Structure 1
């Protein structure tokens, strides 16, 4: 059996790190208010010259280097983003050009905060089908470009950044790789988390809008369910899990989801305090942190999960 093995991770953050106290100087909020409700302490905000593609390229270079490869050895790029550089072409093609790759398959996936999980399943399927050998899967966002900085209930929650992994098709000789993935979508909840603009409706980019309490309730239920489904598909139980790398939206969602699955809090990788919600970038960003600091080791069972606007949600089980 051919499986997609994670051979490298990487991440990139804008240089400008903004604290809650910094935000309080321009928005009616406070460090105490933000920390109590979200667990967020810092976020990174892109400068004018920093874009989704530039952050994605930096994360991609780091992941490729960690995998011991050269950019030309990548033959598939799947980039998840809700904040592309342009309406078209795909931001993935800008990353391809920046990496100096003359020809490979490159396209974007749009599933907001779940985008990275969607991109992982797409790349995993293409690798296992034998169509490609090495894939670069990226989650990258500049959410600061679509925030309403007059709305203190949303603008404090998000940040910018990018994370990437390299997946390589290898023979399943030691049981490593992506063991299962499970994705969902339910478009009936569009108005709970959305952007109020678009090319075919308003002709504008629009701003993010969210009904936080309703999103919170759906997130806890859906994330616990899809994690259970993905573990069932892999023939595993929560007791087998070494690490959960969740979408970094809100510390309270992370805690509630862990309790629902009876997972020990220390098994959950948390970076929301330092990165805030970076949408499609949040899972690969947190993953890179846990790999680089040595928590995630070869052979560990790692569960990735996320939920975002749409609603979309999903999970993947990986043996590292």
Structure 2
């Protein structure tokens, strides 16, 4: 049976290291406070006006393409997952194509907006394309440039300290080898609490926000006017243009959904947690990863965490961690690798790969 396998993998993180002590110089926070709540010690920030989500994605993609043993022109479809695109539109998929210098092949490009679980959703899409024989070399990229859109004041510290920049990429190719490749993917969503982790302004939502939250947005305008406002000085002054998160609520949802979807994926394959050789969880919070590890009864050597040095890189976190674990020799041919993510939406998912 035709399956898709990861034929090449790569990641890129910017050179600039930003420590917790660095952030404490611009907001009321400290290293102990950040590590206790998130496990993060440092993160990377891209070079302003030089690096972007698309350029970082391209650097990771070049490594993945080379390791897949193909030329850039052989890529016949691009999937790009991010919440921090270079432009509101067009999406990063076509920008990546241009950055790689392969616009001449006119390969299709698809942009995915599933935030932290974007790479898992992209993996599922790419897997279907390869399984059906539609494409032979699907380039899947997860990349983020969070540093350009965070609130670097005490007001925004609960969110800002968490995020970093980076990119990861894989090339999905067909395989007929027995048992090899993507075994399954399980994807879910529940939009009931969408505003608990969201970037709401600027937006075109108008009265939609009030209808679903019961709150009238304070835009500094009358009720009759606010529905027509896209961006104004009131939003800027009151920090409404930054991401917002109810951390405790998100944490409770994550520790519930992570184990559930992992067990679902294992169940579909007739496997148990003990069969996992390496779990690559989305790097959201080290406490969440520890909870999931304990819930599944996994040993330290069965779980890869790198949030300590890269922070949460959202759609890029799973491919960066996957590549890093593989480069460290922790993932070998025949190993069962489990990927899992949970994030804004809420959306979540898991997938199993026989390496």
1:315 aligns to 2:318 (yes or no) = no
Where does residue 143 of structure 1 map in the other structure?
146
Decide which of 230, 233, 258 is 1:203's aligned counterpart: 230
Distance 1:314 1:231 in 2: 12
Aligned partner of 2:332 among 281, 294, 297? 297
In 2: Cα distance, 1:175 partner to 1:266 partner: 23
Residue 153 of structure 1: aligned partner: 158
Unaligned stretches of 5+ residues in structure 1:
none
* Bigger Cα displacement from structure 2, 112-121 vs 197-206: 197-206
Residue of 93, 116, 119 corresponding to 1:116: 119
Tell me, in whole angstroms, the C-alpha distance in 1 between the residues paired with 2:334 and 2:301.
18
- Secondary structure of the 2:255 match is helix
Structure 1 residue 181 corresponds to structure 2 residue 189: no
> 1:20-48, CA deviations, whole angstroms, 9 ceiling, x for partnerless residues?
11111111111111111111011011221
Q: Say which one has the larger Rg.
A: 2
- RMSD over aligned CA atoms reads 1.2
2:197 pairs with 1:193: yes
Farther off after superposition, 28-37 or 273-282: 28-37
SS at the partner of 1:98? helix
1:257 paired to 2:260: no
Displacement of 1:89 after TM fit? 1.4
Q: Over residues 183-203 of structure 1, what are the superposed CA-to-partner deviations in whole Å (9 max), with x where a residue is unaligned? A: 001001112100021442453
- Structure 2 gaps of 5+ residues are 206-228, 232-239
- Matched with 1:54 is 55
Counterpart in the other structure of 2:45: 45
CA contact (8 A) 1:195 1:207 kept: yes
The count of corresponding residues between Structure 1 and Structure 2 is 319
Distance in 1, Cα, partners of 2:354 & 2:323: 15
Q: CA deviation at 1:263?
A: 1.6
> For residues 164-175 of structure 1, what are the structure 2 equivalents within 5 Å?
164-171=169-176, 173-175=177-179
Alignment-derived partner of residue 79 in structure 2? 78
Q: Which residue of 2 aligns with 1:95?
A: 96
The answer on whether the counterparts of 1:160 and 1:278 sit within 8 Å (CA) in structure 2 is: yes
Residue by residue over 1:133-166, the C-alpha shift from the partner in whole angstroms, topping out at 9 and shown as x without a partner, is 1111110011122222221111100001100011
State the shift of 1:111 in Å: 0.3
The Cα of 1:206 is off from its aligned counterpart by 2.8
CA distance in 2, matches of 1:311, 1:303: 20
Aligned twin of 2:17: 17
Partner residue of 2:234? none
Specify the alignment match of 2:251 in structure 1: 216
Separation of aligned partners in 2, 1:164 and 1:203: 34
Q: Distance in 1 between matches of 2:254 and 2:287?
A: 11
Distance 2:114 2:88 in 1: 15
CA distance in 1, matches of 2:13, 2:333: 26
Partner Cα separation in structure 2 for residue 259 and residue 198 of structure 1: 40
**Given the two structures, how large is their TM-score scaled by the length of structure 2?**
0.88
